[in-house]
Structure 1
Amino acid sequence: MRNFVIVCAILAAVFTTGNSIRCYDCFDCDTVDSTTPTLTCDAPPQIAPSNAKGACYKGTGKVNGVQTITRGCGWSNAEFCKQETHIVLSGEYCYCNKDLCNDASIVKLNVVLMIFLAGILAKIYA
C-alpha cells in the first residue's frame, strides 16, 4: 500500500497542470530552442467556451503565399489539430495543454511518456 501511495504522489507531481501554461511565442520559426521567446498564457478571454483553458498552438500554413510556422497562446478544451484560417495564416493549427508543448512534435508524445513512466514506476514499487 505504501508503494502505491508513492507512485500516485510521483505521478500527480509530474502530470499536474496549473492555471497558466508556458508556450513558445514566435512567427516564421521552423524550429525552437532555448533562445526562442516564451509567453505565459493565462485564462482564456470571456468569448471562449466555458470549458476552455489556456493552450499552446502551432500553426503551419501560408501567409501571403509563403509557407511559415507560427507558435503562441490560444485556448482549447482538448488537444487536437485542424485546418483553420486566422488573420494572417491559413493552414493546420495544433493545440496542446502542457508547458512548451508547441515545439516540433505536438500532442502525441505526452500520452506515450505518461504510460511509459507509469509502467516503470509500477515495476519499481510493485
Structure 2
Amino acid sequence: MKAVLAIMLLAVMMERAVAIRCYSCTGCDEPTSNIITCEDEEMTCSKTVANEYVVRGCGAGATKCSSLKVFGVKTKYCNCGADLCNKASTVTVSTLALLAPFVAAKLIN
C-alpha cells in the first residue's frame, strides 16, 4: 500500500517538473489553438472572467477559484494545475493535485 501511495506522490511531483501548457487569449469565449508553454515560476493555468470578458493564460498560486467585485465589476479568477485545463467554461483542479496532501500524510504516518 505504501508503494502505491509513493508512486502516486511521485506522479504528482513529476507532473510539476514539466512546464505546464495553457490556452492563451484575451476577449475569447472559447480558445482554439493559441497554446503557450508557461515559465518555470508559473505552475498553473488561469482564467479570469469580468462581465463576460475572458482572459486565459499562465498563472501562479493555488489551484482554486475566487470571486470578487472590483470597482463594481463581478470578477471570477481560477487557477488549475493540468495542461490545457483553462479551456472549459468551468476550470477544474487536477485530481492528482487534490490527492497529493493526503498521499503525503499517509506516507508520513
- The gaps in structure 1 that reach 5 residues or longer are 45-52, 116-126
TM-score by length of 2: 0.62
Closer, same or farther: CA 75–102 of 1 in aligned 2, 3 Å = same
* Cα RMSD (Å): 3.3
- The gaps in structure 2 that reach 5 residues or longer are 100-109
Matched length: 90
CA contact (8 A) 1:80 1:94 kept: yes
Q: Distance in 2 between matches of 1:106 and 1:18?
A: 22
1:29 CA drift (Å): 1.0
TM-score by length of 1: 0.55
Computing the radius of gyration over CA atoms, which structure comes out larger, 1 or 2? 1
Closer, same or farther: CA 84–18 of 1 in aligned 2, 3 Å = farther
Runs of 4+ aligned structure 1 residues displaced above 4 Å come to none
Per the alignment, residue 57 of structure 2 pairs with 72
Any idea what the Cα deviations from partners look like across 1:30-65, whole Å, max 9, x if unmatched? 1123xx201111122xxxxxxxx5211001113xxx
Closer, same or farther: CA 85–26 of 1 in aligned 2, 3 Å = farther
Give the fraction of aligned pairs with identical amino acids, expressed as a percent: 31
Q: Which amino acid aligns with 1:60?
A: V
Per the alignment, residue 37 of structure 2 pairs with 40
Q: Which amino acid aligns with 1:91?
A: T
